[in-house]
Amino acid sequence: MSEMEGVIKYHLNHQHKPLPANINLNRLNAWRSVLYRLQLIGQNPEKYDGLGYGNISQRLVVDSSAFVISGTQTGHLAELSPENYALIDSASVEHNQINSSGLTAPSSEALTHAGVYQQEASAQAVIHVHSPEIWRNTLALNLPHTKAEIAYGTIEMAQAVKALLNSDQVSQLPLFTMLGHEDGVVAWGATLEQAAAVLIQQLANAIALE
Ligand SMILES: [Zn+2]
């Protein structure tokens, strides 16, 4: 593939220090483990240039723009620990900028997560996975999607996601695929459970079609 999964394209101002001790990552980490077992998050030498894929995040406090996200290149790890997560203190989709801290830099797709939190006030969790089944059935399942000519990690993608989130398509289903990002799917919800359930439901729908 021409794009490089895992390459951070935004301007990152990262402070290398532990996350605040009062942040509880237990449920976020549990869902990340479930998604890893389903191979929706992971790393495979045969795919995506062998780089890790998929990431998960959770808003820290309702109405706050801060969120915790799995770190860059952690896809190979079956279990994550607090040092594998980063805290996004603030992010500007418009300026392609992220301010973060943690013992790992944030996922390369953190700006997409930030865009969802900014547009969707009710979103408390965002999950990005790679699912060949959901992705290739985007049209058959009538899923919201960004176009094939829009590559991941670009300003164009940020604008396309914003336009999509402002449309009534995603009010029916809090999920979209990125046809310009092989196997890329993003879902969100008022809880981690809701975001994961939307993904797993669409995975079952896609498998049923095939
Ligand atoms: Zn991806």
**pLDDT tens per residue, range 133-160:** 999 999 999 999 999 999 887 778 888 9
Please tell me the distance between residue 76's alpha carbon and the centre of ligand 1 in angstroms: 14
What residues of the chain score a pLDDT lower than 50?
Answer: 1-3
Q: What is the pLDDT of residue 36?
A: 97
**Whole-number Cα distances in Å, 206 to 51, 134, 194:** 25, 5, 18
What is the value of pTM for the model shown? 0.94
CA of 133 from ligand 1 middle (Å) equals: 14
Q: Give me the pLDDT at residue 2, please.
A: 40
Tokens of 118: 């900014």
62 Cα: distance to centroid of ligand 1 (angstroms): 26
In whole angstroms, give the CA distance from residue 131 to residue 2.
19
Ligand 1 centroid–CA 5 distance in Å is: 6
Alpha carbon separation from 115 to 21, 40, 55, 162, 207 (Å, rounded): 26, 21, 15, 7, 29
The residues whose Cβ lies within 5 A of ligand 1, an ion, are 184
What are the structural domains, with CATH classification, of the chain? 11-209 (3.40.225.10)
Closest CA to 108 of 3, 2, 188, 7: 7
* Six token digits for residue 119: 């547009």
